[in-house]
Amino acid sequence: MTGLPDHLVVPRSLRLLIAGMAPHYRTAVQLVIMSLLSDPVPPDAKPLGIEGLEYDHYTLTRDDVTVYYLVTGDSIVINNVHPDS
């Protein structure tokens, strides 16, 4: 990915899942997702699948939560989130 992403996509089903989490998990997930806008592939992100394809999948674990996401062109698509409890 070159440059910073222009779009962040969080499907409605995931927004509802996040909204239903305990407050400390909800805040942690939101902070991780927002951090991806300034650094879409931070050093602690782990690639999933085959690198070099049109779409790159990653997992990022921070503050007791894991976020699975896809980087494509100028967009980040959140695929899944869950607390690590």
The label of the residue with tokens 């790159």 reads: 56
**Is residue 2's pLDDT more than 80?**
no
- How far is it, in rounded angstroms, from Cα 73 to Cα 25? 29
Specify the pTM. Answer: 0.88
* Mean pLDDT (whole number) for 35-53: 86
Burial of 77 (0-12, 13-18, 19+ CB in 10 A): middle
Mean pLDDT score of the chain: 90
The label of the residue with tokens 């650094």 reads: 39
- Provide the pLDDT for residue 54: 66
| Nearest CA-CA partner of 76 in 13, 12, 6 | 6
- How far is it, in rounded angstroms, from Cα 85 to Cα 37? 26
